[in-house]
């Protein structure tokens, strides 16, 4: 790519600005820490002062909205951590603060991630009354032995009961499963997935188990005590996932996400389509067009340090930097090529300041790793998805 490293990227041109604007709220606490997880999540046995967090979230929302005043919020996402440990009153107060400081679209999508324990499921009605209209449940497996091996504290029965409650209370719900687990066979995954689809309405997130550095799973694997499927076996499971979901009317719209057409998670599409979003709470990231620049923001990760920062300076930002054209172009590729719809090449040219190199596209296409759609968009083929990072690195180089 010919764009200069320090050439600062301009904001989206008004004519191509998508009205989508997402607000991400991070709740950084869990009941226990799962051995595979490297999310910003912490266990606090002494409890959490939720009214204090409400005050801090409200302050950070006000400070962020002051810099992005003309936006209309189209999606809000409570992620974690375990947001279903938030009191319904806490969630409602945060939503009130969003509505006080920004315009909110009439059809706003408000998602909350939940762990499927019965205690938390009982809160669903309270979340709905407070304004949440979609839940995403961390089911992870429909097999008790696998749940226990993943360090989860719920059973498959409890998970399905929570899915049933979600179905009764919310028009829209999704759940997550993790596959390519130790010892998982293709036949077992196919059966588990079919069972999951019979319980799901419109959306399923199906993640391949990743062994993240510095997690207990990474230590176990290094000690030879955890054998996960190799790349070839994982590829077989990935292909089964796409095939079974497509046959059931839930085609993949992103590497790990499957939905009935029209039922995609609009909030996550904001990230993958490289639109603007605000990150609120400990360790939240944002991408905002401000002061003629496309900016990357990030807040302090440690919950108590974030609280202290917000209480002293009104926000928890530790990063607030303009991105260069090269950085913007790389991020656009990395996000957009996860999607089945692929990327708009003209938008790439606008963001990068130069078009994508034709020879690179032709070379990857010759190897059946990328293709151009009838609408002229560029997308990764099913054969390319398992090596997406390498494809992006090649295109971005």
Ligand X SMILES: C[S@@+](CC[C@H](N)C(=O)[O-])C[C@H]1O[C@@H](n2cnc3c(N)ncnc32)[C@H](O)[C@@H]1O
Member of 113, 254, 300, 331 binding ligand X (CB under 6 A):
113
Query: What distance in Å separates the CA atoms of residue 152 and residue 137, rounded to the nearest whole number?
Result: 13
Q: Are the C-beta atoms of 122 and 160 separated by less than 8 Å?
A: no
| DSSP H or E stretch at residue 203 | strand 203-208
One symbol per residue from 190 to 209: x for binding ligand X (CB under 6 A), - otherwise; what is it? -----------------x-x
For position 37 contacting ligand SF4 by CB under 6 A, the verdict is yes
Query: What distance in Å separates the CA atoms of residue 218 and residue 70, rounded to the nearest whole number?
Result: 45
Choose the binding region for ligand X from 33-41, 245-253, 261-269, 327-335 (rule: CB under 6 A).
33-41
For position 34 contacting ligand SF4 by CB under 6 A, the verdict is yes
The least distance separating ligand SF4 from the CB of residue 45, rounded to whole angstroms, comes to: 15
* Residue of 54, 101, 107, 100 whose CA lies nearest to 78: 54
Q: Which of residues 57-96 bind ligand SF4 (CB under 6 A)?
A: 80-82
Query: What distance in Å separates the CA atoms of residue 220 and residue 339, rounded to the nearest whole number?
Result: 33
Query: What distance in Å separates the CA atoms of residue 195 and residue 177, rounded to the nearest whole number?
Result: 12
For position 185 contacting ligand X by CB under 6 A, the verdict is no
Q: Are the C-beta atoms of 394 and 1 separated by less than 8 Å?
A: no
For position 120 contacting ligand X by CB under 6 A, the verdict is no
The Cβ of residue 3 has, within 10 Å, a number of other Cβ atoms equal to 17
Q: Which residue number, 79 or 342, has a Cβ lying nearer to ligand X?
A: 79
Maximal C-alpha separation, the chain: 59
Q: Which residue number, 9 or 25, has a Cβ lying nearer to ligand SF4?
A: 25
Number of residues that bind ligand SF4 (CB under 6 A): 11
For position 138 contacting ligand X by CB under 6 A, the verdict is yes
Tell me: cis bond preceding 81? Omega within 30 of 0 counts: yes
Query: What distance in Å separates the CA atoms of residue 308 and residue 121, rounded to the nearest whole number?
Result: 31
For position 40 contacting ligand X by CB under 6 A, the verdict is no
Tokens of residue 306, six digits: 């974030």
* Residue of 111, 108, 24 whose CA lies nearest to 74: 108
- Residue 212 binding target from ligand X, ligand SF4, none, CB below 5 to 8 Å by type: ligand X
Beta bridge partners of 24: 77, 279
One symbol per residue from 207 to 236: x for binding ligand X (CB under 6 A), - otherwise; what is it? x-xx-x------------------------
- SS3 at position 371: strand
For position 40 contacting ligand SF4 by CB under 6 A, the verdict is no
- The sign of the dihedral angle between the CA atoms of 381, 383, 384, 388 is positive
Query: What distance in Å separates the CA atoms of residue 324 and residue 6, rounded to the nearest whole number?
Result: 6
- Residue 176 binding target from ligand X, ligand SF4, none, CB below 5 to 8 Å by type: ligand X
For position 37 contacting ligand X by CB under 6 A, the verdict is yes
The least distance separating ligand SF4 from the CB of residue 94, rounded to whole angstroms, comes to: 18
One symbol per residue from 72 to 91: x for binding ligand X (CB under 6 A), - otherwise; what is it? -------xx-x---------
Member of 88, 138, 279, 384 binding ligand SF4 (CB under 6 A):
138
The least distance separating ligand SF4 from the CB of residue 343, rounded to whole angstroms, comes to: 30
Q: Are the C-beta atoms of 222 and 203 separated by less than 8 Å?
A: no
Q: Which residue number, 17 or 42, has a Cβ lying nearer to ligand SF4?
A: 42
Footprint on this chain of ligand SF4 (rule: CB under 6 A)? 30, 33-34, 37, 39, 41, 80-82, 115, 138
Footprint on this chain of ligand X (rule: CB under 6 A)? 30, 36-37, 39, 79-80, 82, 113, 115, 138, 140, 176, 178, 207, 209-210, 212
């Amino acid at each position: 790519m010919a764009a200069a490293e320090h050439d600062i990227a301009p904001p989206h041109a008004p004519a191509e600005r998508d009205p989508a604007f997402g607000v991400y709220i991070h709740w950084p606490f869990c009941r226990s820490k799962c051995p595979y997880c490297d999310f910003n999540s912490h266990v606090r046995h002494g409890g959490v002062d939720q009214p204090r967090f409400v005050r801090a979230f409200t302050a950070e929302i006000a400070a962020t909205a002051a810099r992005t005043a003309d936006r209309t919020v189209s999606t809000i996402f409570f992620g974690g951590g375990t947001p279903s440990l938030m009191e319904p009153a806490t969630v409602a107060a945060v939503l009130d603060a969003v509505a006080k400081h920004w315009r909110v679209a009439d059809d706003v999508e408000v998602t909350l991630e939940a762990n499927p324990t019965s205690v938390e499921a009982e809160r669903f009605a309270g979340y709905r009354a407070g304004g949440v209209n979609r839940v995403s449940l961390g089911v992870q497996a429909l097999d008790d032995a696998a749940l226990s091996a993943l360090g989860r504290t719920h059973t498959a029965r409890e998970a399905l009961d929570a899915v049933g409650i979600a179905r009764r209370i919310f028009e829209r719900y999704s759940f997550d499963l993790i596959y390519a687990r130790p010892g998982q066979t293709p036949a077992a995954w196919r059966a588990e997935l079919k069972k999951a689809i019979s319980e799901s309405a419109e959306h399923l997130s199906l993640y391949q188990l990743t062994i993240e550095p510095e997690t207990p799973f990474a230590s176990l694997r290094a000690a030879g005590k955890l054998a996960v499927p190799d790349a070839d076996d994982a590829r077989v499971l990935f292909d089964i996932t796409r095939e079974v979901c497509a046959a059931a009317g839930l085609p993949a719209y992103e590497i790990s996400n499957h939905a009935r057409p029209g039922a995609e998670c609009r909030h996550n599409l904001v990230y993958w389509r490289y639109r603007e979003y605000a990150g609120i709470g400990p360790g939240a990231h944002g991408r905002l067009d401000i002061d003629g620049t496309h900016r990357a923001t990030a807040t302090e990760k440690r919950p108590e340090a974030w609280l202290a920062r917000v209480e002293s300076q009104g926000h928890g930002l530790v990063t607030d930097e303009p991105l260069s054209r090269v950085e913007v172009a790389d991020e656009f590729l990395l996000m957009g090529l996860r999607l089945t719809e692929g990327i708009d090449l003209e938008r790439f040219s606008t963001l990068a300041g130069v078009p994508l190199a034709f020879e690179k596209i032709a070379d990857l296409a010759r190897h059946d790793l990328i293709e151009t759609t009838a609408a002229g968009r560029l997308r990764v083929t099913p054969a390319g998805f398992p090596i997406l990072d390498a494809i992006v690195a090649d295109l971005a180089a």
